[in-house]
Every structure is written in C-alpha cells, then in structure tokens.
Structure 1
Amino acid sequence: MSTPAQPARRAPDSFAILTMIALCAIWGFQQVAIKSTNAFLPPVFQAGLRSAIAALLVWGWARSRGTPLFRDDGTLGAGLLAGVLFASEFVCIFLGLTLTSASRMAVFLYTAPCFTALGLHWFVEGERMRRIQWAGIVVAFAGMALAFSDGFTRAHAGSASSTLAGVTGDALGVLGGATWAATTIVVRASRLAHSSASKTLFYQLAVSAVLLLALAAGLGQVKVATLTPLALVSLGYQAVVVAFVSYLIWFWLLTRYVASRLSVFSFLTPLFGVTFGVLLLGESFSTRFLLAAVLVLAGIALVNGPARPRGA
C-alpha cells in the first residue's frame, strides 16, 4: 500500500534536544509512579484507567483548539493498529513490573530505539542510519548494559521460581520495547504521519483504554483497594503529565524531526529512573553507573552528530 509523500524531517536542534531531555526525565519517573500504584490498583486496570483519563483530556484539548478527531481521513486502519500496539506495550510494562524491578524494566523497555531505528531504516524513506549513528546506538546500549549489570546479577540470584519470574518480567520488557517501536513505525510509515499529534495520540489512548479495561474485566482486575493520596497523585501523574502532556509533545516532535534520532534520546530515561531511585528510594549509586552514563551520552552525541551530505 502506497502512502503519500511525506514532508522532510530535520535533525534535532537545541529546542528538540532540551525537550527530549525533559520528556526523558518525565518518563524516567513513570516507573516509580507505576510501582507505587500497583499496590492499590491492579496493573491492567491501572493502565486502562490511565489511558481513559488521558483520552478524555486529549479529546477536550482537541475540541478547544478546533482540531478534528473523527473526520474520515484514511487513518482509521493505521490508528486502530497503533492503538492495539500501544495497549500491548502497556500490558507488558504494567504486568512486567509485578515480576521484575523498575530498573531492569527500564533497561529492557528502552531497547525500543534500536528496534525503531531498524524498522525505520527499512520501511521509511529518509530515516536511514549511517554507520556512525549505528555505532552510537551500540555505544549507548553498552552503557545501559554496564549501568545495570550488577542489578542483573543480583536479581537472578535466588530460587528457580524467582529466577523464572525475573526472566518473564525481562522478556515482557523487551516485548514492550518492540511494541513501542512498532507503534512509532506505524505512525511514521502511514497516513498518521500527516495527522495532528492530537489525533494520533487519541487513537492510541482511546483504543488502548477500551482494550485494557476489557482485559482487566476479563482478568477480574476491576477492583480498587484502599486508595491513598499518594496513589491518586501517582495515577494523576501517569494520566495527565505522562500520557497526555508528554505524549502529545512527543508526537508533535515526530512530525518535525527525524524519528530515529529522537528515539535514541530514550536511552536517557533509565538513567533518570535510576537517579530518582537513588533520591527517592535510597538505592545505591556507583562509579560504574557514572561510567555508563558517559557511554550513553557519548552514544547520543554520535547519533545526533552533523548529517553527512547526500553522496558524500
């Protein structure tokens, strides 16, 4: 199926870079928010509520700006597919966080930029990676592996059942990263690339809300334990700040900048997650982590270096 010619995207400038750093900090804190709320709201039900609240906010935002969400523009098929993938991603994340640690989930989930770059390289014209950029992804991922290598060893030390649970959680993290990347590829390789950020996000939130809440009902998870103010604030943070504001900004960026070079900034998110863990949860901080952070930043610098002129 052919898609219409797409407008040229440019390499991230200083505004895009600073915006992505802020988004990564927001997403890094999300792991803490989800873990703290899992004790009071079942994971799939929590994910569904999050999407439902954010979908209503996006609908209100679009209506206030006069942005059409329900006009027939040929995006329905791609929008439904993106919504299914989006729901699958958060099933993996929320269930995975009941089986593995937030830091391990962050590592495996944020393999997404690698999957994204590979998919865009093959399916979207103008998103092909140069060797130096691929090298940057390898360096950044090596930094991730180094940062969490101690955690990997400790997490898998123990009984066979705990090891199996940890491996399952890790696998859900990788699958979550793959489905996140698939969502980005669907958005960039379809008519959704020409839709407003509001409509693109609304598809994902609305479809995922229906699917996740239906799944929660099927699993018997539609129930609320004793909610604390912290749990309510956490759910609000996930729905308003993460799923509404940050995703709306993310999809807006995708309409203007090269997606594969934005996605690599996602490697910063686990670093923020560990930092929040140190500050809020009293987790240890090592020299190895500092070295890993240097590798990650070096990888990002390589990926976002000056573009080589065509034919050079």
Structure 2
Amino acid sequence: MGERKVLDAKASGLMVFICMVWGLQQIVLKLAAADISPIMQIALRSGLSLIMVFPLIKLLPGTKLFSKEFLIPGVLVAILFSIEFILVAEALKLTTAAHTVVLLYTAPIFVALGLNWRLASERLTNIQWLGILIAFLGIVVTFLGKESSSRTDLSSMLLGDVMALLAGISWALTTITLRLTKLSEVHSTQTLFYQLLGGFVFLLPIAILTHQATIHWTMLAIGSLAFHTVLMSFVSLLIWFWLLRNYLAAQLGVFSFLTPIFGIIFSVLFLGERIEHSFIFGTIMVMLGVMIVSLHRWIRQRFHHAESIK
C-alpha cells in the first residue's frame, strides 16, 4: 500500500457527503418509524446490503470468511453490532433523534478508555484525559438539562438517552474487538460483512418476536430502506474505507465530527425537534472532548510548534 496522502478537495468533499449521510441515519429511522419500526429497518437494510457486499468479498484474494481465527471474533462483532442497533432503535422511541446521534458518537471516548487498558501503545496522555473529562461533563450537562411538560416524558427521555449512550459504548466495544483480534489483519469489507450478517440474522428474529416486523409499504418506508441499504450501509461505508486506505486517518477524523452536527440540524429541519440550550452546550463539550481525545497528537504537535517559534 502506498503512502497515505494529506486531504485534498476531493477527499474533503467526500467526507462532508458521508458525514451528512451518517447524520441523516437516525433521523430517517425515526421519520419512517410509523410505517416500519427502526429495528426492522436495520434488520432489512443489513440483509439487503449484505447481498451487495458479498460479491466484493469474493474479489478479495485469500479471504477466509468462515475460518476459525476470523469467525469467532466475527461472531462477537456481529453480536455487538446488533446490540448497538437494538439500543439505537429503542432510544429513538423514547428520546429525540438529536440526542441519540450525539450520545451515540461518544464512542471514541470509550474506545480510547478500552485501548488504554489493553494496549501499552494506546496509553492515554494528559491531553486525552482532559478531553475525556470535558466529554463526560458534557454528557452530564445533556442529561441534567432536560425540559419536558411532564415527569413521565422526562423519565422516558432520560431512559432513551441512557440507551443511546449504551449504544455508543457497544459501538466502542465493536471497534476495540476489531483492533484487538485477528480481524485487525483482514480487509475492512470482510469486517463489514460480519456486521451486516449479524444485523440481519439477529435483528430480524427479534423484530418478529417483539411484534415490530409489520411494514406499511409507503413511499416513506421504501425510501428509508433505499437510503439505508444503498447510501448508508453500502456507498458511504465503501467511500469511508477507500478514504482510510488513501488518506491520513487523523485528518479524516476531523471531518467525522460533523456527523452529530448534521444530525442535530436535520432533526430540527425534518422532525421539528426542539433543542434545549443545555443540550447544545453539553453537545459542544462532548464534541470538544472527543476531538481532543482523537486529535491529541496533532494538538501536541501544534503546541510544540508554537512554543518553538516563540
């Protein structure tokens, strides 16, 4: 593989596009929920995307999808992926899409904490611990600053927020598993295959057993499935993996923080959600903390550079 490049206009444009798609994910799930439940949407999109991804797997040389060394961690990743979206589906029933997308994207904080515990090379720096502190204070602010017309609504929203946060932790555990197992050695399309397979195999029976499998085939339901299958689970992820193979990951990471911002904007535009001032303040703290944790090397380099030219 050649040396990774710095971001250019093409890569920046693609990152803005996929961040918009990712920011729309929870909004579209909630928008179509009356016609097709979120968990059923995720199950079907996983199965349909799997059909699209499988031919790409066959093109990869030497791929061993079902060998023991890859299958066991693959099953674990599939389970964690399914748990994440079960929690997302339930969170969307109880809280706003804006809250869900922001709390889901706390995952990098928990990835950093998990890898700090397991890998000497991933020990957290003082700058990263500061970022984690800011992010957790932001989470507290988003939880404590809720406004609602009744105690019941407030309790439901709080439970939904907890589920969204747990979904972020589940996402983090998926990432940690990918990093610490044999899956770190395989092509990213193979790991996507395991996640999509798990999303279909585990979530479809759960949707049926919990009486959430009913579908009203409206244009909204069909549009949601098309969006999630083609744009979300196939096109955007393939673009993301291509960018990771060709450009510097740290610079790509800067753009990924646009996703929660797009999520909030789209939740207001398409769902008419009202955003509390405390939530905006808490979101700023969370995103600032996540950026500090993820970009600590760049921050340290900039700080040392500024010191050297004084």
TM-score grouping bracket, smaller chain normalisation = 0.7 to 0.9
Deviations 1:32-74 (A, max 9, x none): 1111111101232222101111111111333356673535261
Equivalent residue letter for 1:45: M
Residue in 2 aligned with 1:120?
A: 115
1:183 corresponds to: 174
Give the aligned partner of residue 232 of structure 1: 222
- Post-superposition offset of 1:278: 3.8
Distance in 2, matches of 1:22 and 1:133, equals: 28
Task: Give deviations 1:240-266, integer Å, cap 9, x for gaps.
Answer: 211223334445666789989976865
Gaps of 5+ in 1: 1-6
Relative to structure 2, which stretch is displaced further, 78-87 or 27-36?
A: 27-36
CA distance in 2, matches of 1:61, 1:308: 39
What is the number of equivalent residue pairs in this alignment? 297
Structure-2 residue corresponding to 1:43: 38
Match of 1:158 in 2: 149
Query: Residue 52 of structure 1 aligns with which residue?
Result: 47
CA offset digits 1:162-206 (Å, max 9, x no partner)? 223212211111110110000000001111011111111000110
- Stretch of structure 1 that moved more, 214-223 or 82-91: 214-223
The CA distance in 2 between the partners of 1:122 and 1:243, in whole Å, is 31
**Do 1:30 and 1:238's aligned partners in 2 also have CA atoms closer than 8 Å?**
yes
Residue in structure 1 matching 2:72, options 73, 77, 83: 77
RMSD of equivalent CA atoms = 3.8
TM-score by length of 1: 0.78
Counterpart code for 2:70: T
Q: Deviation of residue 231 (structure 1)?
A: 2.4
Please name the residue that 2:258 is paired with.
268
State the TM-score, normalized to the length of structure 2.
0.79
Instruction: Summarize the Cα distance change of 1:169–1:297 in structure 2 as closer, same or farther, 3 Å threshold.
Output: closer
SS at match of 2:32: helix
Q: Does 1:168 align with 2:163?
A: no
The structure that is helix-richer by fraction is 2
How has the CA–CA distance of structure 1 residues 167 and 286 changed in structure 2, closer, same or farther, with 3 Å as cutoff? closer
Q: Report the alpha carbon displacement of residue 96 of structure 1 after superposing the two structures with TM.
A: 1.1
Asked if the contact 1:140–1:297 (Cα under 8 Å) also holds between the matched residues in 2, the reply is: yes
24-33 or 79-88, larger mean C-alpha shift: 24-33
Q: Give % identity.
A: 36
Task: Give deviations 1:263-282, integer Å, cap 9, x for gaps.
Answer: 68654322111122344445
Map residues 283-302 of structure 1 onto 2, 5 A cutoff.
289=280, 296=287, 300=291
Distance 2:282 2:95 in 1: 24
| Equivalent in the alignment of 1:90 | 85
1:222: Cα distance to partner? 2.2
Match 2:236 to one of 231, 246, 261: 246
